[in-house]
Amino acid sequence: MPALDATDARLLLALSEDPRATVLALSQQLGLARNTVQARLGRLESSGALDPFERRVRPEALGYRLGAYVTVQVVQRSLADVGEALASIPEVLEVIGLSGVADLLVQVVAVDADDLWRITEQVLAIPGVQRTDTNLALRRFVDHRMTPLLERAAGSLPVADLD
C-alpha cells in the first residue's frame, strides 16, 4: 500500500466530511483539477487505502445488539485453517492475529446472549482451536476514526510534543 501524501490526506478529509461529494465538488473545495481528484480517488481505491463501504453499516441496524471480542488460542500449524473457518461464520466481523498468549482476536456480534453462546460454541468446534475467552463489549468510548491522523498527514494537526 503506497504512503499517502498531504493532498491525499486533504482529499480523504473532505470525503470524510461529505462522503457523497462529487469529484467536481471535491476538486473545487480542494483547488485541484477534476482529473487529478478522479485519478487520486481511483488510486486510493485500487491500492486498498479505502475500506469497503460495508464498514459504515452498524450491526445494531441489522438486529445484532450484542458485541464481543473473543481471544482464541490456536494450534500454530492451524492458523490459516482456523482463519478460513472463522471467515465462514457470518457473525464474525474481523479476525486479527496477535502476539502474546492469545493468537487471534475475533470481533463478533450476536442478537442476544443465547446467540453469542451459539457463536462461541461454533468457534470452539473449529479444528485447531484450543481455547477461547469471550469479553462483552459494553460501551464504545471512541468510534473507529481516522480524522486526527488525516489532519496530521494533511499538515493541519501537529505531531504531539513529547517533552
Whether residues 67 and 104 share a domain: the answer is: yes
Q: Of 39, 54, 69, which marks where a domain is finished? A: 54
Whichever domain contains 37, its CATH number is 1.10.10.10
Domain presence at residue 132: yes
Q: Tell me: pLDDT of 160 over 60.
A: no
Q: Across the chain, what does the average pLDDT equal?
A: 91
Read off the pLDDT of residues 121-144 as tens digits, 9 standing for 90 and up: 999 999 999 999 999 999 989 988
Helix or strand holding residue 104 (H, E): strand 104-110
Residue 27 structural domain: 6-54
The answer to whether 32 and 23 have CB atoms below 8 angstroms apart is no
Domain harbouring 113, CATH code: 3.30.70.920
Q: Do 35 and 72 share a structural domain?
A: no
For residue 91, the surrounding DSSP H or E stretch is none
| Total number of domains in the chain | 2
